[in-house]
Structure 1
Amino acid sequence: LFPGYQRVEDVDARKKFETAWGKPLPPNKGTTLTCAFKDALIGKIKAMIIFGENPMLSDPDIAHVEEAINELEFLAVTEIFPTATTKLAHVVLAGACYAEKDGTFTSTDRAIRPVHKAVDPPGEARPDWQIACELGRRLGASGFDFPSPSEIMDEMARLAPPYGGISHARADEEVLRWPCPSKDHKGTPVLHVGGFKIGKGVLVPVDHAPPAEQTSEEYPFILTTGRNLFQFHTGTMTRRSPKLEREAPEPYVEVNTTDAKRLGISDGDRVRVSSRRGEISLKARVTGWIMPGVIFIPFHYAEAAVNRLTNPALDPVAKIPEFKVCAAQLEKA
């Protein structure tokens, strides 16, 4: 997609961006994030620049991710703190955090709110937009001479219809929710009021698709993953917060009380969890909240990275990994 949910296959949209950017653009959509590492393994992708992501903790089957990264000819990572992914990079570019840069945040409800720099970035750290523009200039490209993020938003307004009436100046004065197609538009607090542009919705029944991986005698548990209340994603920031780390300082696996009793596992015991892809060691948290035959591990913790175990199978349409189901074994360490 081009900015504003405009498909690259749309000839008119592509011509608009080609005119604005002064370069021919590919007519076909590219790969998905979850398929990119598979492409790296077979040599279709030679280099990557990763902005603020930590796939060595967040992607499924991270042994496979590491193998793919090692096949790259070049990897640059932009981050504000060291991560498991920066350890594998050829170059690490220091990024600025939210309090060290100007711009906007767009929340899940489509509200666009301004953020203003409170302090300067440390050392040589820069906002992501400056890093991207400097890379573009050094690679000999034109069109990267933006003096501030305000001008980048102005370009978005020109090229992406949902942002047509949005500017930093307006965002400073009022909360706007896209679509906001013109400067006199007040934004769209609720989508699809009065009906959908393409007509009424159609409910389509679907057949149940079983998990890609089934339990077995060797791997009798269903492992599911997710988050806890106090850590966020791969913990790049939250694990550096003493207050949050105090509440959730170490990895754990939630085990049903019945399963724990059968296996001789007590709360706090160190256990080993394994799958067809690897194993990790961590403490057990015995609870009645989880179903028998199911175990749960949050993915925030690099020292016991649950995504060493997860199945990289993808939904055929959404290309989302099957983080919520894989076959696993649980035993006392």
Structure 2
Amino acid sequence: MSNPLVDMEHPEVIFAIGTNMTECHPVAATRLKKAVSRGAKMIVVDPRETRLAKMADLHIRIRVGSDVALLLAMAHVISREGLIDKEFIESRTSGSEDFLNHVKDFTPEWASEICEVPAEQIEQAALWYGEGNPSAIYYTLGITEHICGVDNVQSLCNLSLMTGNLGIKGGGINPMRGQNNIQGAGDCGAVPNNFPGFQPCDDQSHADKFSKAYGNQIDAQRGITKVAALNSCGSEGPDGIHAMLIDGENTVVTDPDMNHCKNALKSLKHLVVIDLFLTETAQLADVVFPATAFAETDGVQTNTERRVQRLRAAVPPPGEAKPDWWIISEISKRMGNTQFNHFESAKDVFNELCSLSPIYAGLDWDRIGDGEFQWPVPEKDHPGTPRLHEKEFKNGKGLFKIIGYRDPAEVIDADYPVWLTTGRRLQAYHSRTQTGRSAGIDYLLNEESLEINPSDAADWNIDDGEIVEMKSRRGSIQIKARLTDCSPKGTVFTSFSFASVPVNILTGSGYDPVTDTAELKVCPVSITKIDQGSA
């Protein structure tokens, strides 16, 4: 997030797109509720009528996968109406002239046909956002899990840049992270293109720096994504992958194209999984290491607002469970590597991160004890940076990007005439590795269902509670129908949480060409009623 969580209480206009925040980030969402109660206007862009959408002053139910068209048209209106921040654009951005010329062609009427919403709603959203002082953007995986995920994010950045809503209280562009330490994992280099601290892997100076620190020669090149790794599992030749370590992820349930994922993992000669429980993925492993849970672990997590926080073990771990860092270190030692020999505690690991990462350089284990710092903290005694971009951008100027609309990887047709979109539910966290073992939560949600608009259900002769077959170009599943106006006509929704209803057998139509992120939010399907005798 560019802004701290407390700033969520201070926008004049909230623009929430691709986020079901009241279910996926219920604690953070209370701050938006406070802002609304104080008079802030809220625009929600979501095909479904979620709890957040019901709170909105304007709910735009766009067709899944059409975000770029909407955002181009909003930029068109903001420019046409003179709502741009000329001073900010001239002093702090680059590429504005080409961008403003580009958006002249993308009218609300043009976007209306693609997004399947009235042009008047697009016009209103643009005017409110452009007039807001300040206006803030909030988004989650509904923006990024598309073949155009990068385009979506860059389009949102364009809106922030053209209105000067960056580096100010109550403004910003704020991705809400999907899990508690996703931000921290990225900070530590758990991405294929960056060393710790978001230092690019393909920069020779960075490669030299980490080669020296780790005692092994590291080439100045980007690593491969998980998608590419799974595609290479079992392949012969120099790029083939024959062994894999999966740490804390139930890949089989959460990844797209489940059958492909299972076959890839089964083709490995050796699979190691580190996890709390024997998940569906761990069941395929040759070796499973039991990890400690958060309450059993001393360590560090960095949350969605870049706040660096200590974890303190409250209870001893059961059995032979060990912290992830210890397991990885011991595996490395047994492979003959020496760069982990000095790790005796989580403190040693974190202090090494601080010595190598410029955004953590002013921190150490003792300084983060009270969780008061948000990175970047570039030097000792630095107070931290709650709000990014207040005076300047890291690379000098904010860059406008020329973005064009493109359809999803697959679109509906006569064989697959319904849009499927997936997500999470309040009661079930992720793949239920943890929440699925709680009797209390099981009482609240013990099975998955498919949200179907009653009008569609009538056309398809489907009653509430009946079992239907949902099929895509990759496979089919059976699932119980739940009739609700929450999903619009022509679009159905389910979560990916239940292994017993493996919706990700269906997904995986395409991937973002920059990030390899799967298009989990758009999947054309067909839906047919199953005779009760054969269900």
* Pair 1:174–1:57, CA change in 2 (3 A): closer
Contact 2:300–2:350 (Cα < 8 Å) also in 1: no
Aligned residues between the structures: 333
1:35 and 2:228 are equivalent in the alignment? yes
Contact 1:103–1:114 (Cα < 8 Å) also in 2: yes
1:62 and 2:255 are equivalent in the alignment? no
1:231 and 2:428 are equivalent in the alignment? yes
The 2-side partners of 1:235 and 1:110 are apart by 26
| TM-score, scaled to structure 2 | 0.61
1:210 and 2:403 are equivalent in the alignment? no
The 2-side partners of 1:321 and 1:173 are apart by 37
The 2-side partners of 1:27 and 1:194 are apart by 32
Segment drifting more, 240-249 vs 301-310: 240-249
1:75 is aligned to 271
2:32 is aligned to none
1:85 is aligned to 281
Contact 1:235–1:301 (Cα < 8 Å) also in 2: yes
The 2-side partners of 1:66 and 1:304 are apart by 16
2:451 is aligned to 254
1:131-189 CA distance string (max 9 Å, x none): 00100111111021211010111111111111111112111145111111122111111
| TM-score, scaled to structure 1 | 0.97
1:311 Cα deviation after fit: 2.2
The 2-side partners of 1:263 and 1:8 are apart by 52
1:274 Cα deviation after fit: 1.1
Structure with the higher fraction of residues in strand conformation: 1
Letter in 1 for 2:280: A
The 1-side partners of 2:263 and 2:428 are apart by 27
Q: Which of 85, 94, 99 lines up with 2:295 in the alignment? A: 99
The 1-side partners of 2:365 and 2:284 are apart by 37
2:464 is aligned to 267
Letter in 2 for 1:8: C
Matches within 5 A, 1:66-215: 66-145=262-341, 146-215=343-412
Structure 1: gaps of 5 or more residues: none
1:197 Cα deviation after fit: 3.0
SS at 1:328 equivalent: strand
Task: Report the aligned-residue RMSD.
Answer: 1.2
The 1-side partners of 2:346 and 2:528 are apart by 53
Structure 2: gaps of 5 or more residues: 1-193, 531-535
1:34-82 CA distance string (max 9 Å, x none): 2210121534211100000011001100100011111111100001011
The 1-side partners of 2:355 and 2:241 are apart by 31
The 1-side partners of 2:267 and 2:467 are apart by 35
2:213 is aligned to 20
SS at 1:261 equivalent: helix
The 2-side partners of 1:202 and 1:143 are apart by 39
* Pair 1:219–1:48, CA change in 2 (3 A): same
Q: Which of 268, 275, 282 lines up with 2:479 in the alignment? A: 282
Structure with the higher fraction of residues in helix conformation: 2
Regions of 4+ moved over 4 Å:
none
The 1-side partners of 2:509 and 2:344 are apart by 42
Identity percentage of aligned residues:
39
Contact 1:41–1:67 (Cα < 8 Å) also in 2: no
* Pair 1:89–1:312, CA change in 2 (3 A): farther
Segment drifting more, 226-235 vs 239-248: 239-248
Letter in 2 for 1:61: D
1:202 Cα deviation after fit: 2.7
SS at 2:368 equivalent: helix
